[in-house]
Amino acid sequence: FFQQCYSTEEGIMAARGGNWYDGSQNKDMHYHSWTKDNNYVSGNWGWLSTTIGVANQTLSILNTTEPEGAAKSTNMAEIKMVRALAYFMLMDNYGNVPLDTAYGDFSPHPTVPRAQVFTFIENDIKRCLPYLSTTVGVSTYGRPTLYTAQALLAKMYLNAEYYTGTGKYNECIAACDNVISSGKFALASMTN
């Protein structure tokens, strides 16, 4: 939130007294003068790369310990969606990033072009689609569903031209239509 919103003037943190200045990290976001040492930049990278590592570890464990079947397929798809979301945020914020999908290899991985990361995420999401739940509500709260996947695809496709050099606006519309036509979501009405 801070890295994406403060750097776009979508949000701003005012400095009111010495305790709001936070070592200039908020000002640096606003003025686009951040470095890798900014807590938002390094924290975002740390959390997202940790999420990817934990997802890879979880996938490795589930793959060897869970019996084959629908439950395993759904669990694996949900974990891959968590990883896809983390990879999307890394790609969106940092561009070229390392791609690592295997647990156990802790050596540094080279970065790959943003377009390649985009394709990896897109393909991984599409492979998950058949196994994700279409149920929305308390039982799936906090779990990626088919509509989570469609929403992430829509977000990716909206900016695909920037990420890859090729626009995917029709794909964006189709992904949005899949969510809208489900009839499971609506905009909140404004009442006085």
φ/ψ of residue 98, rounded to 5: -70, 145
Six-digit token pair at 9?
A: 């003037």
CA distance 48 to 8: 20
Q: Any idea which residue has 């709001």 for tokens?
A: 20
DSSP-derived secondary structure letter, 188: P
Chain Cα centroid distance, residue 45: 12
Tens-digit pLDDT profile for residues 153-186: 999 999 999 999 999 999 999 999 999 999 998 8
pLDDT in tens, 13-51: 776 666 667 777 877 877 888 888 878 878 889 999 999
From CA 126, how far away is CA 158, in angstroms rounded? 16
Is 22 exposed, middle or buried, given 0-12, 13-18 or 19+ CB atoms closer than 10 A? middle
pTM (predicted TM-score):
0.88
- Residue 156 and residue 88 in contact, taking contact as beta carbons nearer than 8 Å: yes
| Secondary structure (3-state) at 105 | coil
